Amino acid sequence: MKFYIVDAFSSAAFGGNPAGVVIIPEGDDFPSASLMQKTAAELRYSETAFVKRLNEKEFHTRYFTPAAEVDLCGHATIGAFYVMLKEGILSKEQKYMNHTLAGDLEISAQKDFIMMEMAIPEHIKTISGKTETETLFDIMGIPVGEVFIHQSPGDKKKLLPMIISTGLPDILLPVSDRNTLFDIDPDFDALSRFSEEYEVTGVHAFTLDTAEDDITAHCRNFAPLYDINEEAATGTANGALTYYLFLHDLVKDGQDSVFIQGESMGRPSRILSHIKKVPRYENNRDSKKDDFFLKIQIGGTGMILAAGEIFI
């Protein structure tokens, strides 16, 4: 099997989020889950994607961290499909279907980057209780802080932590400014227990305090439950962040967003997102015209660092 090491969400080597990518030879099936798990642990990246081509337009992808199989991984998907774009397996300006444990998700291959569809967003829970909020902030190593946004003169809204999923559930944690974001120093054992209790992958902290007009938010992501203390770029979590901002009317229908992640790790990543309402009635005559679902896409470019053969 051929494998690649690719830095996703970056156009420069040693930036972005590195992922392993394993291309299953045509006509072969996936190796056993145990063997894929061992391979991911040997490659030692936060996620490794194993990709099997089903036909010209369809692929089946499975994702493994060093500790477990997960339903979906954004940066490994971007990395895998970017590799296939550069290797000529995909054609530019074409759409493909990626079958995952999180659902069947559309992939758009552009000229130099990949856009991937997220699972339909789900708001699972708002963390608003005093005790659980204080516990979360204490675990993250920062004082409890309140974040307010001004949507109009005299209209001030408080942002609260929320659990949202666009394939994997994460706690979206708003903080007031970049200094607070970079001061986060989690108790990783406690965060693992908290993540297990709340049935989430981890915490995606963000701030809307940006110096550049084209940047929507700066982010940090922590998932020690899956042996990932911090991650430089997280597709699913930024998909969830896109929905969080949409729920608070900070991102509009049809709008693009740009998230910067990985700065604290010396691996800056640039993650693109797009959200739009898709009418259900286009494919269902019984639906009302105001009935729609939200389609969120996450994308970026990549840099192939290395390639080789796995002899198993």
- DSSP symbol at 154: T
Sequence letter at residue 96: Y
C-alpha 60/C-alpha 26 separation (Å) is 12
C-alpha 123/C-alpha 247 separation (Å) is 9
Which residues are CB-contacts of 137 (< 8 A; sequence separation ≥ 6)?
Answer: 143, 144, 145
Residue 116's pLDDT is 93
C-alpha 237/C-alpha 172 separation (Å) is 8
Which residues are CB-contacts of 295 (< 8 A; sequence separation ≥ 6)?
Answer: 117, 275, 276, 277, 278
Which of the following CATH numbers is that of domain 122-298: 3.10.580.10, 3.20.20.140, 3.10.310.10, 1.20.1270.10? Answer: 3.10.310.10
Which of the following CATH numbers is that of domain 2-118+302-309: 3.30.70.141, 1.10.3720.10, 1.10.150.120, 3.10.310.10? Answer: 3.10.310.10
Which parts of the chain have pLDDT scores under 70?
A: 150-154, 281-290
Q: How far is CA 286 from CA 84, 280, 289, in A?
A: 39, 9, 9
Any idea where the domains of the chain sit in the sequence?
2-118+302-309, 122-298
Residue 289's pLDDT is 55
C-alpha closest to that of 161 among 196, 204, 118: 204
Number of CB atoms found within 10 A of residue 78's CB: 31
Which residues are CB-contacts of 42 (< 8 A; sequence separation ≥ 6)?
Answer: none
Q: Tokens standing for 2? A: 């051929």
Sequence letter at residue 272: L
Residue 154, Ramachandran bin (φ over 0: left; ψ between -120 and 50: alpha; else beta): left
Global pTM reads: 0.86
N-to-C CA span, the chain: 8
